[in-house]
Amino acid sequence: MTHTSARPRRATRVVAAAGTAAIASGLLLAGAGSAAAAETADGGSLSWGVKASFRSYIAGPIAHGSITTGGGATTAANGTYAFPATAGTVDGSSVDAAFAGSVHFTGHAGQLDMTLTDLNVVIDGTTGVLYADVDSKSLSSGSLVHYEDVDFAALDLSAVTAQPTADGYSWTAIPTTLTANGVPAFADFYAEGTALDPLSFTLDVAEATDPDPGTDPDPGTDPDPGTPTQAEQDLTVVVPEGTEEPEPGTFGWEVTGDGSAVSLGTAADAGDHLTATGQLAPVVVTDTRSTRSAWSITAQVSDFTAGSTTLAGKHLGWTPRVVTAGGGAVAGAAVTPGLVSGNGLAQTATLGSAPTGHDLGTATLGADLELQLPSDTEAGTYGATLTLTALS
């Protein structure tokens, strides 16, 4: 008996477009455009180990020292320190976040005494600075020197972009180097440019402040409308509701991940167009029905919108993949973004399927997403919804 029924799942739009919690990394589009509203952090934390070799030196037989955290900072199991966020703003790829707590290093029977407090991360595009108040005993004078709000470490964000989390954003493993102004605090033992530990932080953001993404809330405050602006884009993946653990003899499927928006990263100039790529949140399909009936997972994307600006969904294409083989699953055909011709994923396409008589089992399906946009695309925060449908 073959039994094939269409089972479109009720969809939950997990994250809306502009101005909500799911800002992905900056999408730099040429030309003037409206900047996304700044978002205010109401939580988060910074994780940084300063420099692993310095920590070993302090705790080891040379310095015979100790390390203590205070003021809300804590030491993590891996030896790095966690500082709670006290304030922060995220405005496209500009971030300014302050963190409480301190870490205090001592050694050489008190001759080494260094405290970092008042950490402040400031990011502008692909560069950033970690500012801190530093107190460190001078090796020559033996007295404590206070460095107020010194630019202590340089942050390199050329390969790290904000990733959406359930509550806001995270930046992971940002490479850091010692600045010239940080050198004396380490008694000149490290040269300017010495690699310090990578720094990670999260910021939780409050609900969107823009009540109506269709209108520019206050065009008069656009800080610099004459230059290219940074904006964000999200692709929202619809997570089906009520997907139960598959039992023996059933067909079940679910989108993995935490339901936050899929980031298409930073749109890059590709000559005659802009391109951005990302990964679909993997979809796990289990089919243990003795009927071995055919199944398929299909998808279709909505238009991308940023306020009142719309970009046709056809600009999105993909290359489906079977990430973990099983149950006779095969990947659907690649769909080219419809920049030049075709409908891209605006037209229903197959992510994966299994033919009648397939093996029983579980497969994980994924897809490389590719968005191709005209070079003159207006800057803005673009969001879209990809709706996945199972036929079984």
Q: Which residues bind ligand HEM (CB under 6 A)?
A: 51, 53-54, 57, 62, 108, 111-112, 114, 136-137, 139, 186-187, 189-190
Containing 84, the helix (H) or strand (E) segment is strand 81-91
Nearer to ligand HEM, 57 or 147 (CB): 57
CB of 154 to ligand HEM, least distance (A): 17
Containing 305, the helix (H) or strand (E) segment is strand 304-306
DSSP string computed for 203-265 = EEEPSPS-S-TTS-S-GGG-S-TTS-EEEEEEEEEPEES--PPPPTT-EEEEE-S-SPPEE--
Nearer to ligand HEM, 116 or 297 (CB): 116
Do the Cβ atoms of 275 and 371 come closer than 8 Å?
yes
Q: What does the alpha-carbon distance between residue 290 and residue 247 come to, in Å, rounded to a whole number? A: 12
Nearer to ligand HEM, 53 or 200 (CB): 53
- Structure token pair of residue 348: 């229903």
CB of 80 to ligand HEM, least distance (A): 15
CB of 198 to ligand HEM, least distance (A): 16
DSSP annotation of 22: -
CB of 54 to ligand HEM, least distance (A): 5
Q: What does the alpha-carbon distance between residue 201 and residue 153 come to, in Å, rounded to a whole number? A: 15
Residues 6+ away with beta carbon under 8 Å from 245: 252
End-to-end CA distance of the chain: 13
Nearer to ligand HEM, 138 or 300 (CB): 138
Nearer to ligand HEM, 147 or 350 (CB): 147
Nearer to ligand HEM, 13 or 108 (CB): 108
CB of 109 to ligand HEM, least distance (A): 8
Q: What does the alpha-carbon distance between residue 97 and residue 130 come to, in Å, rounded to a whole number? A: 10
CB of 112 to ligand HEM, least distance (A): 4
Cα 130 to Cα 31, 45, 235, 303: the distances in Å are 30, 14, 31, 39
Cα 253 to Cα 12, 241, 278, 361, 365: the distances in Å are 15, 11, 22, 12, 10
CB of 147 to ligand HEM, least distance (A): 12
Name beta bridge partners: 350: 298
Nearer to ligand HEM, 195 or 268 (CB): 195
Nearer to ligand HEM, 184 or 217 (CB): 184
CB of 139 to ligand HEM, least distance (A): 5
